[in-house]
Amino acid sequence: MTIRTRFAPSPTGYLHVGGVRTALFSYLFARKHGGVFILRVEDTDLERSSADSVNAILEGMTWLGLEYDEGPFYQTERLGRYNQVIDDLIEQELAYRCDCSMERLDALRKEQMARKDKPRYDGHCRHRDLGPDQPHVVRFRNPDAGEVVVEDLIHGRVAFSNEELDDLIIRRGDGSPTYNLTVVVDDRDMGITHVIRGDDHLNNTPRQINMLRALGWRPPRYAHVPMILGKDGTRLSKRHGAVSVVAYRDQGYLPEALLNYLVRLGWSHGDQELFSLDELVELFDIDQVNKAAASFDIDKLDWLNQHYIRHGDPKRIAHLLSPHLGRLGVDPASGPDLVDVVLVQQARAKTLVELAAISAFVYQDFDAYDAAAAKQHLRPAAREALERLREAFDMLALEDWEPMTLEHTVKQVAQALDVKLGKVAQPLRVALVGRAASPGIDVTLQLVGKTATLRRIDKALAYIRGRAIE
């Protein structure tokens, strides 16, 4: 048997990190067993589905590198197939038409709740033989007795009594099929052998198994993944911060960091923290997933992201960094090779957004100094050091504008003034960068370039003179 898994998001919003973890588990399980991974877009909710949400799903999957073997399939292109199955169920008396009004259903629900019974449809229309021309919905005729046992690959044996399951609607009054019907038909038609999805779907599973059996189809194996919680113990949502995959990309996270983090929410391999995708394919198996919910920890994600930035291929990091610089109004083509900048900066940032922010000085002048850094280092006492540095730098030929010569020049000025190197280098650093932190002063000078260095020293001297007047 060829393993076939699927990721089936609904395009009614952003691609949630919880959905991505489900997609990742489905992807890894298929890859480990030499199987097939399918992408299916469940877009039958016409009022809430949107083209933008579909694009966000496809964009997120591409960014993460979760390549699917088949699809994307769209449920809206299969409406004829769903209606054929529903009509067959009616013909076999496994489903029936129902014209119960909302008023009757509301009254029924109130009566049941008053008796402290579980609210469920009472089968009022089961034997009424309504015609197709009058307004109606279609309900599946659920078995009245017995139980449905789900041998879940994560939760183990879970039993549901059929007496607790009502006759759910499988076609709405407007003629559109409902989720529980479409997913059953799709999983069968697409040959899905293993359904890996969030455990919020566990209560749907017995209903879907009953439909599969009524149609004479073999149910797939199920694995219901526990939900992801925020630090407060509630389900992860926007109030906890970003939950959209695209948002994490835009905040400067690398796809490998996000995938590495998500796979560890509920799964582990000893004490190992870092995994390549190939390692995950080799080591992962769905029956090793913990059944308890996991909490999202942004600090841990930051740690992983910093690791992948620090140890990433500088060319790739530069490629990913470029659009973040663009959002700051920086054109990387206007200065030194961005790869050279990454080589000296990549160990200094947790995200690409942070890396862009601390590297922008290389390509453009800044508007203001960090207040604390300017107060400490751009004082009248620093004026002479900056003036001597400017004079020395101005005399250097462009071909001599390289780290060794630049470092020697700074040291010479410090020796001439009989002060420690920091008394010269720190005012220079603030003049060049606008803050008290940067790569080594020699590399910083080289990246900024001679023309910008002289211009920024002039700006710092003007600042010091103005401060003296104040």
Q: How far apart are CA 112 and CA 101, in angstroms?
A: 17
Q: Are 135 and 173 in contact (CB under 8 A)?
A: yes
What is the three-state SS of 157-193?
EEEEEHHHCCCCEEECCCCCECHHHHHHHHHHHCCCC
Q: How far apart are CA 212 and CA 252, in angstroms?
A: 44
Q: Side chain identity at 392, as an amino acid letter?
A: A
Question: Omega of the bond prior to 219 within 30 degrees of 0, cis?
Answer: no
Q: How many CB atoms lie within 10 A of CB 428?
A: 26
238: annotated active-site residue? yes
Q: How many helices (H) and strands (E) would you count in the chain? A: 19, 12
Q: How far apart are CA 69 and CA 71, in angstroms?
A: 7
Q: How far apart are CA 388 and CA 251, in angstroms?
A: 42
What is the three-state SS of 249-291?
HHCCCCHHHHHHHHHCCCCCCCCCCCCCHHHHHHHCCHHHCCC
Q: How far apart are CA 341 and CA 382, in angstroms?
A: 28
Nearest to 256 by CA among 295, 313, 299: 313
Place of tokens 């052998």: 193
Annotated catalytic residue within 110, 238, 315, 420? 238
Q: How far apart are CA 75 and CA 348, in angstroms?
A: 46
Q: Are 86 and 170 in contact (CB under 8 A)?
A: yes
Q: Are 8 and 186 in contact (CB under 8 A)?
A: yes
Report the catalytic residues: 238
